[in-house]
A = this chain, B = another copy of it.
Amino acid sequence: MRHYRLALLGFGNVGKALSKLLLNKQEELTNRFNLIFSVTGIATAKHGVAIDPMGLDLSRALVVDDLGSLTRQPTPRDSCDFIRRCGANVLFENTPVNYETGQPAIDHLRVALESGIHVITANKGPVVHGYQKLKKLAEVKGRKFYYESTVMDGAPIFSLFRESLPGANLLSIHGVLNSTTNLIFSLMEQGESFDESIKYCQKIGIAETDPSGDIDGYDAAIKLAVLTMVLMDFPLKLSEVKRTGIREIGSAEINQAQSLGKRWKLVCHAERKEDGVEAWVSPEMIEPDSPLYHVQGTSSVVQFETDVLGLLTIIESDPGPQTTAYGLFADFLNIVSNHTL
């Protein structure tokens, strides 16, 4: 029986959903994967930090207001100090995305890898801004750097290419990757205004107080950049993704599309060209015979064109924090399957 010690940096909706999934799957992990786990550290920005080398009571961590009440160690100086002292084999990094620099998540992952800790993140920032260096550091240290949940929540995208499409060369990517704009368009088609639709997304917790990350296409662009870098092995900078948001699509444009039997979608494209990869995000009117047309609400879709298959389309319906949590969990199991402690 192998014993893995886990640490969680960030304990919001996703970190909590992961904890619940780990608790639900505890018996299966023992019986099917021959492993037990303990959570030796949880760190948050606003609800304290807990470290216990003997393992925290995860059920209690899910309900206490101040994690500090569970700790058996002095409070760490900062997140990097937490990572060095948490005594984990695997770090789940779930701090908020920083579109501009990827920090401080890049530092978190670097410090963890340098300390011999496998890293798993749902944070797109460190992948888009630190992929090459983190990948190399992980290789040098013989540890894994996985990030399945950065795109399409927990749907298997990176593991698909890593494990299931060997020898395939990716020629193009097309997809609807941002949930908030997709839900906004769905609501506007039902007669809501742009502003009302945004308010609804904020109310159900999928849009930020400042919704520009979604509306101006940053979230879609960063996901596309992550896909392009990892799956097309092309060092695309986020600033090289041409980006048009959805602010120009008002009720008149929605009605016009509907009268043509079409729908607006914020579409991501990446296409391999002779001298590299061209990537862009923009609102487009989509015909009803495209799978993109039918992906409504918070669902998402991606289409992969390779040199070996016809177009391969993957749709993830109705995601939530628990599906993002599954992506983190799947990364953990994939690390465990291929690694001895």
Contact = CB atoms under 8 A, between A and B. Distances in A.
Interface string A314-341: 1111111011001001100110010000
Contacts of A159: 163-164
Contact of A309 (B167, B168, B323): B323
Interface in A283-325: 288-289, 291, 294, 299, 308-320, 322-323
Given A167-B32, A313-B317, A308 B160 contact: no
Nearest to A157: B164
A155 B312 contact: yes
A166 B330 contact: yes
B315 A167 contact: no
Interface residues of A, number: 45
Contacts of A32: 167
Given A156-B164, A164-B159, A330-B167, A310 B314 contact: no
Nearest to A148: B164
Given A309-B326, A312-B316, A323-B308, A25 B155 contact: no
Contacts of A319: 309-310
A41 to B, nearest CB: 23
A165 interface: yes
A33 interface: yes
A66 interface: no
Contacts of A322: 308
A183 B93 CA distance: 47
A21 interface: yes
A166 B320 CA distance: 19
Q: How many copies does the complex hold?
A: 2
Contacts of A154: 308-309
A323 B326 CA distance: 30
Interface of A: 21, 25, 28-29, 32-33, 153-156, 159-160, 162-168, 288-289, 291, 294, 299, 308-320, 322-323, 326, 329-330, 333-334, 337
Given A311-B318, A313-B316, 13 more contacts: A29-B167, A32-B167, A154-B308, A155-B312, A156-B160, A156-B164, A162-B163, A163-B334, A167-B330, A167-B333, A308-B323, A311-B315, A313-B315
24 contacts: A28-B167, A29-B167, A33-B167, A153-B309, A154-B308, A154-B309, A159-B163, A162-B163, A164-B334, A165-B330, A166-B337, A288-B288, A294-B294, A308-B323, A308-B329, A309-B316, A309-B326, A310-B319, A311-B315, A311-B317, A312-B314, A312-B317, A313-B315, A314-B315
